[in-house]
Structure 1
Amino acid sequence: MLNDAVDFSQVKTVLVIKLRHFGDTLLTSPVFSVLKAHHPHIEIDALVYEETRTMLTLHPAISHIFGIQRSHSHANTLQQLKTEYNLFKQLKARRYDLIIHLTEHTRGLWLTRLLKPRYSVSYHFPGFSPRRKKFWKKTFTHITPHGSPQRHVVEKHLDTLRRMGLYPNRSERALSLVAGDAAEQRIDALLAQHGLEKQTYIHVHPTSRWLFKCWSPEKFSALINQLHKAGYTVVMSAAPDATEKAFVKAIQQQLKQPVIDVSGQLTLKEMAVLTQRAQCFIGMDSVPMHIAAAMNTPVVVLFGPSGDLEWGPWQVASKVITLAYACRPCGQDGCGGGKISECLTDISVNIVFDAVQSLLEKPRL
């Protein structure tokens, strides 16, 4: 038993800080669920980048979501100071008893020092210098190891709770993403427009914001052609980014029959509903894959330079496709920094197609 376990009966307000990308933010959702399930009296807030707020809005365990800008490059110094001060006042008014800081971002460290909660928890990051490690240890009342690359990010997040004496049940660890009525109505109308019903199509999201995490357009075209030949309907999505649009166009140019293309047309909440209504999801290591897992849609995902054990689909029926290359996962920006990862591009179309067929043969839970 821990000799410094937190007395949660004395905790009324908690702030969870996660300053990262969309997928990273979604993967924090079980922290809120577990904490609320074990201690319903606690009010739990989130501090995230403003752009990632949508990953946590409507979460039933969250009281308030505070957003900050990733960069103040378009703001002058006075505006920046005013924004920061107003945020600090709002956070201070919440009188936090506990702060859970889930990244190595120094912003969370300084907020913890300034807000002075009774309890605070973060990680021991292996890359820290001795000086920074000492400063970190002096700031937080509880420190937990960050964990190895073989440990899933969700479990790493939940390790902060374990370090304080709160042990989550396995049934409590699912991702939580609430799309909302407006998103459901939009997608239901879109499906009706194309004559589609629930679970009568496959959702393919071939892109990632990072090109080195992508399969080739040629192989995606071949896969979709094979899916069409087998009688499946394909709905394809991508972000409105120009690079992703060009990637989708390259796929479309090699198709024997068109897909239903909604690229650049959906919010992330709407994409969540589109995925939820699908038979299965096919994609890369990116936020749409994590969204599919949160919506309990079977997932076929291709992993290359990023680690599937650490970032794979969480608690959902899935087929994770990798090649047993000794150099992966390397985390590099493509082989030799060339934006193309051979551990991905060498994956055959037939392997992916067979994985889809195998997954769809199983009843959806």
Structure 2
Amino acid sequence: MRVLAIQLNQPGDAILTTPALRWLMQQGHEVHAMVQPISAELLRTMDGLAGVHPLPRGSFQVSRDIHRWNFFRAVHFDWALVFSRCSERPALWAWLSRAPQRSALLNENFPKLLRPLRMINQWRRYPAWPVHVVEQHLALAGANAEEAAQSRLEYTPAVEAIGWHAEWLREHGLTSQGYLHFHLTARWPSKCWPVGHVRTFLQRAQKELACPIVVSTGPAEFEKQYAAQSLDGLSVAVTEIGTLAPHQLGAIIAGAGAFLGMDSMPMHLAAALQIPGIALFGSTNADQWGPWRAKIEVIRTPDAAQRMAAIAPELVVERLRSLEALGVK
């Protein structure tokens, strides 16, 4: 079968689809993925995919979309799957693919006025919504519980990024697996630590952890401003504030001795790469969205009202001290 897998959520969510994509390929299907542009960059290093088709989120361009529609018609897809909660846009592309079978997990919020159009003609109700989203993807694809138990996230940095990372290590006097990578931010400010917590953590970690600290953020303006406030007057080994391409970020994560981050795409990359570390979770349900079968410990907020502010920097340093990859002074 020719399968079109549609995942138009955040790039981290695309990494969470990789076990289902791999399972579909193992069944002998020809698998294509339609994802956001950053997700497309990350998935292009996944061997076996027949095609990766980037679609910018929230954009509509007539000539581009007509060209894509004509391409999909020529492929003759047999099955379109929409991963994560299905909204109008991915449902429309499932329908435009002309696949006779169009599946998605049941979304009670999908507009009732559009349901008679049957853009999705197979709504699947997964019996245990609290389970991890990776298990939901695998169930939609058709994997049973035993097969799902063997699944793993997949991600490999691009060859060019690996070469870039070797030069980056030399430039900064670092060694592979010899630094802590702290990705400060997530896509949403509510998922980030308070600035004061970041400063306390860095001051204490540099005294107690026997390794240099590399600090990074994404390119969004709020992330750069947040980093400027968090790092003001502090000295860390390396800062990469909004400067990294996706695979460069992946290569830095792959070369780290340990990782610290929020509920974010970099956290899922670290999970896929089996890098030990810690992920900080506030209001997000870590049982559904946390690191999947990884070496990453989740520290959840003990107070839902305070969210990230309730996670003490001292606790995070203590947990990091226990990681053999870091050692202590």
TM exceeding 0.5: yes
Q: Which is greater in Rg? A: 1
Question: Shift of the alpha carbon at 1:241?
Answer: 2.3
The correspondence for 1:23, drawn from 6, 9, 12, is 12
Q: Residue 274 of structure 1 aligns with which residue?
A: 252
Q: Residue 176 of structure 1 aligns with which residue?
A: 154
The correspondence for 1:158, drawn from 125, 135, 138, is 138
Secondary structure in 2 aligned to 1:15?
A: strand
CA change 1:130–1:170 in 2 (3 A) is: closer
CA change 1:48–1:122 in 2 (3 A) is: same
Q: Residue 79 of structure 2 aligns with which residue?
A: 98
Q: Residue 219 of structure 1 aligns with which residue?
A: 197
CA change 1:185–1:168 in 2 (3 A) is: farther
What is the rounded CA distance, in whole Å, between the counterparts of 1:248 and 1:294 in structure 2?
26
Secondary structure in 2 aligned to 1:60?
A: coil
Q: Residue 222 of structure 2 aligns with which residue?
A: 243
What is the rounded CA distance, in whole Å, between the counterparts of 1:180 and 1:114 in structure 2?
31
CA change 1:83–1:196 in 2 (3 A) is: same
Contact kept in structure 2, 1:234 and 1:260, CA below 8 Å: yes
Q: Quote the sequence identity (%).
A: 24
| 1:160-218 CA-partner distances (Å, limit 9, x unpaired) | 023xx666624642111121110001111101111111111100011112111111122
The correspondence for 2:46, drawn from 59, 74, 89, is 59
Normalised to the residue count of structure 1, the TM-score between the two structures is: 0.82
Q: Residue 87 of structure 1 aligns with which residue?
A: 68
Q: How does 1:99-118 map to 2 (within 5 A)?
A: 99-102=80-83, 103-118=85-100
Contact kept in structure 2, 1:158 and 1:168, CA below 8 Å: no
CA change 1:166–1:43 in 2 (3 A) is: farther
What is the rounded CA distance, in whole Å, between the counterparts of 1:264 and 1:282 in structure 2?
17
| 1:253-285 CA-partner distances (Å, limit 9, x unpaired) | 253x43311222211111111111111110111
Q: Where does the alignment leave 5 or more consecutive residues of structure 2 unmatched?
A: none
Question: Shift of the alpha carbon at 1:361?
Answer: 6.8
Question: Shift of the alpha carbon at 1:344?
Answer: 0.9
Q: Where does the alignment leave 5 or more consecutive residues of structure 1 unmatched?
A: 1-10, 74-79, 329-334, 336-341
Q: How does 1:202-213 map to 2 (within 5 A)?
A: 202-213=180-191
CA change 1:252–1:112 in 2 (3 A) is: closer
Q: Residue 201 of structure 1 aligns with which residue?
A: 179
Aligned AA (2:42): M
Q: How does 1:63-74 map to 2 (within 5 A)?
A: 63-72=50-59
Question: Shift of the alpha carbon at 1:154?
Answer: 1.0
Aligned AA (1:197): T
Q: How many residues align?
A: 325
Match status 1:47 vs 2:34: yes
Match status 1:32 vs 2:21: yes
Q: Residue 119 of structure 1 aligns with which residue?
A: 101
Contact kept in structure 1, 2:320 and 2:326, CA below 8 Å: no
Contact kept in structure 2, 1:218 and 1:254, CA below 8 Å: no
CA change 1:29–1:284 in 2 (3 A) is: same
